Structure 1
């Protein structure tokens, strides 16, 4: 069997260039980065090994979500939520709300 080279597509863009040119994808990338930055800011305030059971979730116009691995982790996050919101405000984020959501498998 001989392998044929893949045909080239005229006017094709590398993926990175397409992402940079697309306004909706650029907005998504910015929100993902914002979520990661927020998580970095609060990570040190998460007690013990809790951080390994929490993931940053989406940022939208109504707030930011933290994704908890289970209900016990979510309960602990709800207890420290005021502190987490305070940390974000101290670092310059306009924090309307942190939502705590349990991840489904």
Structure 2
């Protein structure tokens, strides 16, 4: 019986030691991986912030420019006729008409 008791005790000590060592290794690896994951997350966050800072938002005037460019251009002859009608009605003087005509033809 003492031999059996000694064998059981030895087995208990070996199993307890193995469990303690295994737990310690597992905690150490978890801490190492947590540090590495935190560093990776910080690097990604920093890179994202740098990318966002590098991009400049488009000014609102430039955003409206494509909409204005989408309008069909007015016919030059139609615009000249409108200017002539305004001159005939006395709304434009001869000098104003000449300036607008030169601007339109330029």
Do the two structures share a fold, i.e. TM-score over 0.5? no
**Counting helix residues as a fraction of each chain, which structure ranks higher?**
2
TM-score normalised by structure 1 residue count: 0.24
Q: Which has the higher contact order (CA 8 A, sep 6+)?
A: 1
Structure having the higher Rg? 2
TM-score normalised by structure 2 residue count: 0.24
**Counting strand residues as a fraction of each chain, which structure ranks higher?**
1
